[in-house]
A = this chain, B = another copy of it.
Amino acid sequence: MTDFDPYRERRLFGRPLTLEPQATAVLVIDMLNDFCQQEGLLGNPDSLTLCEKQNQILNSVRHSGGRVVFVNEQHRPNLRPRSNFARRMSHSREGTWGSEVVASLKVEDSDIVVIKRRYSGFFDSDLDLVMRDCGLRHAILVGVLTNICVRATAHDAFFRGYDVVVPEDAVGAMSPLEQLSALYDISTHFGWVTTTAATVEALEARTPIENMDVVLSAAMNER
């Protein structure tokens, strides 16, 4: 039998994380029509089922004094990124319906919108500046895809010293295996994997967030 997790014994779960609400951003990643609607150019309608959980977090962040930041991939109509479109058809073009945030999430006046051009929300965008200018130190990540754009953003947030929180029921991947694997790597190397309920409780009752014990082997047996 294969040991799916030989690294397990060395794992450090890290300290539980206490969020300071005014220093907390929720980064809503690529919840756009082209990625989440049946008619979207790369649409996976399962993503829409995440909105209910996401809205719980967004409301909680807004009410407790943090900032909601929509991080939207968007491409210019007159410029074809050589690398980015090599593996994916053209999508999320500026000015199209596909590049808009899904209607199930509401962008409010106090929210901030950051445009990204690559998978990571931080790469050559002004997301880091927004975090610095607003005094934000904790980043809750929700959206799609867990294993591509959410994960790439988690990398870059972690590298810069932000605390990365990923509620597993508010992010979606291309497949169950990719969801599992991304959450495992995030929990072991980049941040705290948790649930929406625990995230809301952390914001509203200051309950520390425990890092989830994402288990590779057991999860595979279930499937």
Give the residue among A87, A128, A152 with the most B Cβ atoms within 10 A: A87
A residues contacting the other copy or chain, number (CB 8 A): 65
Q: Are B79 and A134 in contact (CB under 8 A)?
A: yes
A42 at the interface (CB under 8 A from B): yes
Q: Are A76 and B124 in contact (CB under 8 A)?
A: no
Binding site for B on A (CB under 8 A): 2-7, 10, 12, 14-15, 42, 76, 78-83, 86-89, 109-110, 112, 115, 117-120, 123-126, 128-130, 132-134, 147-148, 152, 155-156, 158-162, 174-178, 181-182, 184-185, 188-190, 216, 220, 223
Interface of A is mostly: loop
Given contacts A42-B10, A76-B112, contact A175 B82 (CB under 8 A): no
Can you tell how many copies of this chain the complex includes? 4
Q: Are A120 and B155 in contact (CB under 8 A)?
A: yes
Please indicate the chain B residues that have their CB under 8 angstroms from the CB of A184 in the complex: 178
Q: Are A189 and B87 in contact (CB under 8 A)?
A: yes
Given contacts A7-B175, A124-B128, A126-B117, contact A88 B133 (CB under 8 A): no
CA distance A162 to B132 in the complex (A): 10
Please indicate the chain B residues that have their CB under 8 angstroms from the CB of A156 in the complex: 123
CB distance from A161 to the nearest CB of B (A): 5
CA distance A79 to B134 in the complex (A): 7
Instruction: Give me 30 A-to-B residue pairs in the complex whose CB atoms sit less than 8 angstroms apart, sorted by A's number.
Output: A3-B175, A4-B176, A4-B223, A5-B174, A12-B86, A12-B88, A76-B112, A78-B110, A78-B112, A79-B112, A79-B134, A81-B133, A83-B160, A117-B126, A118-B158, A118-B159, A119-B159, A120-B159, A123-B156, A125-B125, A125-B126, A129-B161, A132-B160, A132-B161, A148-B185, A148-B189, A177-B181, A177-B216, A178-B185, A181-B182
